[in-house]
């Protein structure tokens, strides 16, 4: 199976998306279809490339089309132009029907002029509504445009009968009133509502668009001995690329020459620049600081980290939470129900109306059709998901869609891996202490210089510790490894023995033990047969971990630490952070079983791990959160990826999830209460209580405002994190 993503234009409500989904899933070779009305995008899982053509043909048959982003922006510009034309003609219609032009000409001529002004609005500007109505008559499939098409067609055709068949309509008992101005204003206000809706929907996708804009269009690449400015698409893996101060890194790579502070905030959400030097990774879309850097291209095009993020966010915005599927099911049956209710309204007014029977029946029939459009209901969930996932991506959180946000609200237990999750994940010097009066920096220099020749994983921590203190390393005169114990070496006219306690005992050197509560690996140092001190190397706990655990406890979420380390190390971390439960000495494959045991206690479990060796446990958990570092991010395997491994962003993700689901429920309430209250009013129920009727024009304004209110409410999510 392969994924096929495409933009689709012409959708007017969630019913359109549901129709495309149900019809394309019937095509042989399509295993799944997901269509998002808010983002105007679709994702199909298909068996071969040939199926793409079948899908496109089916989409066209349904009255929609594949499109490009630039075409969407053009459609938005054309929409506002059509609105102004329609609105201008509608003003003329209003002036002829109710304004100063009403008595300038005879009534017959007045009706003829109204017909001429209304015809282009109904037939040309409102063509999509009339086409949708004709498609409904042919296939029985309906959507929001069907309701507008039926309403405006009923008004236009009724008014046309009154205009051209006056004598006959009088004999039939029809009310001698035309509704051309209603046709004009309904289509005008629907177009205006569509324009603001499109603008708001595009604003909800600003986060994703800003990611897309991060990529550079060109690169300064070494070709034939000179650096040349070439198109980004011409860069190949292995090219030497130069980035000038303030310039963007065009692709991912590894620094060859130079050192500079690089702004990676657009990818990680971290505000502080990261210093990059030879051998370190750089990513496309990030911004260089004050110094030029040369790097070798490692990943280009769709393989870059930025491209992976964009792809992840796009896919996430197409994933539907269960609450959206519920709204879609309502929308899919809502339109046919409204059609029945509008016809019932027409019939009841014809039989029980007391005055101006035909006029009131037609007016209320149109008002019900217009005001009942389920557009707001269709936008309630997807716009919120688009804003939430887009905003999160700019804050260094990659969220796998609305379903993930929904799951996060039910979590009441979180399991943490230790190394790389709660700790920094790399050996660091926790303590360096001497029991001698010798120069401690000189001894540190000698030890680091000796460790430079060692392959032990802790050696790098000692070397970096010395370099950070500005020490210049030298070459030993003699060097010998004692396997499993340490090193013996001659340097600076002194003999050093460096390693564990067994090595010093082998050389009959007495180690002076001091009480120490620091958990880590101890490197003992002897100089000229005398013990001089020790270095403790360990994995530092992240500075934000303690506050994060406290926040989870305040929320009533139980915390677990499952680690492969021994109980001494595990208990030390638990005690320092205040974690509720600990399981030590756990192998990666055993962690999944432990997650299952916690779930058996009726917990909804989130697992926070590094996304690689914790993969089985992440897969078993109800919600998986991977702590990402650079290109090692397991984007495709986790529900959420925290870029740069910032543990405190677990809290902001939970805040975002809770806030987003709250706003989705508000949106659904707004849209459902809107239809529940206004449809009876549009049908004329207030007349029973000597109240007014709702004109079709006012119904069109109310319908547009409902959609705008839902989208505007969704945009508040940007303030949650």
What pLDDT, on the 0 to 100 scale, is given for residue 476? 93
Summarised one tens digit per residue, pLDDT across range 100-136 is 888 888 889 999 999 999 999 999 998 888 888 888 7
How far apart, in Å, are the Cα atoms of 48 and each of 27, 54, 60, 376, 517? 12, 11, 20, 36, 62
CA 527 from centroid of its chain's CA atoms: 58
Tokens matching residue 588? 């990666």
Q: What is the largest CA-CA distance in the chain?
A: 124
State yes or no: is 632 an active-site residue.
no
Average pLDDT over residues 288-305: 88
Marked catalytic residue, from 263, 417, 446, 565: 417
CB 655 within 8 A of CB 720: yes
Summarised one tens digit per residue, pLDDT across range 632-658 is 444 455 788 887 778 889 999 999 999
Average pLDDT over residues 185-201: 72
Spatial distance between the Cα atoms of 227 and 177, rounded to a whole number of angstroms: 77
Residue 65 clears pLDDT 90, i.e. is over it: no
Give every CB contact of residue 595 below 8 A, 6+ residues apart in sequence: 415, 605, 607, 617, 620, 621
What pLDDT, on the 0 to 100 scale, is given for residue 412? 93
Summarised one tens digit per residue, pLDDT across range 593-616 is 898 899 999 899 999 987 545 667
pTM strictly above 0.75:
no
What pLDDT, on the 0 to 100 scale, is given for residue 266? 61
Residue with tokens 């037609």: 362
Average pLDDT over residues 681-688: 86
| Neighbour count for residue 502 (Cβ, 10 Å) | 12
Spatial distance between the Cα atoms of 671 and 328, rounded to a whole number of angstroms: 13
CB 187 within 8 A of CB 86: yes
Average pLDDT over residues 379-404: 82
Spatial distance between the Cα atoms of 143 and 17, rounded to a whole number of angstroms: 10
Residue with tokens 């657009």: 266
Residue 405 clears pLDDT 50, i.e. is over it: yes
Listing from the earlier edge strand, what are the strands of the sheet with 413-416? 397-399, 640-642, 623-627, 605-609, 413-416, 558-562, 581-583
What pLDDT, on the 0 to 100 scale, is given for residue 270? 53
Residue 373 clears pLDDT 70, i.e. is over it: no
Q: What is the CA radius of gyration of the chain?
A: 35
| Neighbour count for residue 709 (Cβ, 10 Å) | 16
β-pair partners for 478:
490
Summarised one tens digit per residue, pLDDT across range 459-495 is 888 999 999 999 999 999 999 988 778 899 999 899 9
Average pLDDT over residues 379-384: 78
What pLDDT, on the 0 to 100 scale, is given for residue 630? 38
Summarised one tens digit per residue, pLDDT across range 201-256 is 565 555 555 666 667 888 999 998 899 999 888 999 999 999 998 889 999 999 99
Residue with tokens 């929907």: 201
What pLDDT, on the 0 to 100 scale, is given for residue 631? 35
How far apart, in Å, are the Cα atoms of 704 and each of 12, 368, 604, 678? 12, 14, 40, 13
Residue 271 clears pLDDT 60, i.e. is over it: no
CB 34 within 8 A of CB 43: yes
Helices within 205-321 (DSSP H only): 206-214, 265-268, 305-318
For the chain, the residue count is 721
Helices 382-394 & 180-204, crossing angle to 10 degrees? Answer: 30
Summarised one tens digit per residue, pLDDT across range 463-473 is 999 999 999 99
Give the mean pLDDT of the chain.
82
Average pLDDT over residues 9-28: 81
CB 83 within 8 A of CB 192: yes
Residue with tokens 């006056």: 166
């Amino acid at each position: 199976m392969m994924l096929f993503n495409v933009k689709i234009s012409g959708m007017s409500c969630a019913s359109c998306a549901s129709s495309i989904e149900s019809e394309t899933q019937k095509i042989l070779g399509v295993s799944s279809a997901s269509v998002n009305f808010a983002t105007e995008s679709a994702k199909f899982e298909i068996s071969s490339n040939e199926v793409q053509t079948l899908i496109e043909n089916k989409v066209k048959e349904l009255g929609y089309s594949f499109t490009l982003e630039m075409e969407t922006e053009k459609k938005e510009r054309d929409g506002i132009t059509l609105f102004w034309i329609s609105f201008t003609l509608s003003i003329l219609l209003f002036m002829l029907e109710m304004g100063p032009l009403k008595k300038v000409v005879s009534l017959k001529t007045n009706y003829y002029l109204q017909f001429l002004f209304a015809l282009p609005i109904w037939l040309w500007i409102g063509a999509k509504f009339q086409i949708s109505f004709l498609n409904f008559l042919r296939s029985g499939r309906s959507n929001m445009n069907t309701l507008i098409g039926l309403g405006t067609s009923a008004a236009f055709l009724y008014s046309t009968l009154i205009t051209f068949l006056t004598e006959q309509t009088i004999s039939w008992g029809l009310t001698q009133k035309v509704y051309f101005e209603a046709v004009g204003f309904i289509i005008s206000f629907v177009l205006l509502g569509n324009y603001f809706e499109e603008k708001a929907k595009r604003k909800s996708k600003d986060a994703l668009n800003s990611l897309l804009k991060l990529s550079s269009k060109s690169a300064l690449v070494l070709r034939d001995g000179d650096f040349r400015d070439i198109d980004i698409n011409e860069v190949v893996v292995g090219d030497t690329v130069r980035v000038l101060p303030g310039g963007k890194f065009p692709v991912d790579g590894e620094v060859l020459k130079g050192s500079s502070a690089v702004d990676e905030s657009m990818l990680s959400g971290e505000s502080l620049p990261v210093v990059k030097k030879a051998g370190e990774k750089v990513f496309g879309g990030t911004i260089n600081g004050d110094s030029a850097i040369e790097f070798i291209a490692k990943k280009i095009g769709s393989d870059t980290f930025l491209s992976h993020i964009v792809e992840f966010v796009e896919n996430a915005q197409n994933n539907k939470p269960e609450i959206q599927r519920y709204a879609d099911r309502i929308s899919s049956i809502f339109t046919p129900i409204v059609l029945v209710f509008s016809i019932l309204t027409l019939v009841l007014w014809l039989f029980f109306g007391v005055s101006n029977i035909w006029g009131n029946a037609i007016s209320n029939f149109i008002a019900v059709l217009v005001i009942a459009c389920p557009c707001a209901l269709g936008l309630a969930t997807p716009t919120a998901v688009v804003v939430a996932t887009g905003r999160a991506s700019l804050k260094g959180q990659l969220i796998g869609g609305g379903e993930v946000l929904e799951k996060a609200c039910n979590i009441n237990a979180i399991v943490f891996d230790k190394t790389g999750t709660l700790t920094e994940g790399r050996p660091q010097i926790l303590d360096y202490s001497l029991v001698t009066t010798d120069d401690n920096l000189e001894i540190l220099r000698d030890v680091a210089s000796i460790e430079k020749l060692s392959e032990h994983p802790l050696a790098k921590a000692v070397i970096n510790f010395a370099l950070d203190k500005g020490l210049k390393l030298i070459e030993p005169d003699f060097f010998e490894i004692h396997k499993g114990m340490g090193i013996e070496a001659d340097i600076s006219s002194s003999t050093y023995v460096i390693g564990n306690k067994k090595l010093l005992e082998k050389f009959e050197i007495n180690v002076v033990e001091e009480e120490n509560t620091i958990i880590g690996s101890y490197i003992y140092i002897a100089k000229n047969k005398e013990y001089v001190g020790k270095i403790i190397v360990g994995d530092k706990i992240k500075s934000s971990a303690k506050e994060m655990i406290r926040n989870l406890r305040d929320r009533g979420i139980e915390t677990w630490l499952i680690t492969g380390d021994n109980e001494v190390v595990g208990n030390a971390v638990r005690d320092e952070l205040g974690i509720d439960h600990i399981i030590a000495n756990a192998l990666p494959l055993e962690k999944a079983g432990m997650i299952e045991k916690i779930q058996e206690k009726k917990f909804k479990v989130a697992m926070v791990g590094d996304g690689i060796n914790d993969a089985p446990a992440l897969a078993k958990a109800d919600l998986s959160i991977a702590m990402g570092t650079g290109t090692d991010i397991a984007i495709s395997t986790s529900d959420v990826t925290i870029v740069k491994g910032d543990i405190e962003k677990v809290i902001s993700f939970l805040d975002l999830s809770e806030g987003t689901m709250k706003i989705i429920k508000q949106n659904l309430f707004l849209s459902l209460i809107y239809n529940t209250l206004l449809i009876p009013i549009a049908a004329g129920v207030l007349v029973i209580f000597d109240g007014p009727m709702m004109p079709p024009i006012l119904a069109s304004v109310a319908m547009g405002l409902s959609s705008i209110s839902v989208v505007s409410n969704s945009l508040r999510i940007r303030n949650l994190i």
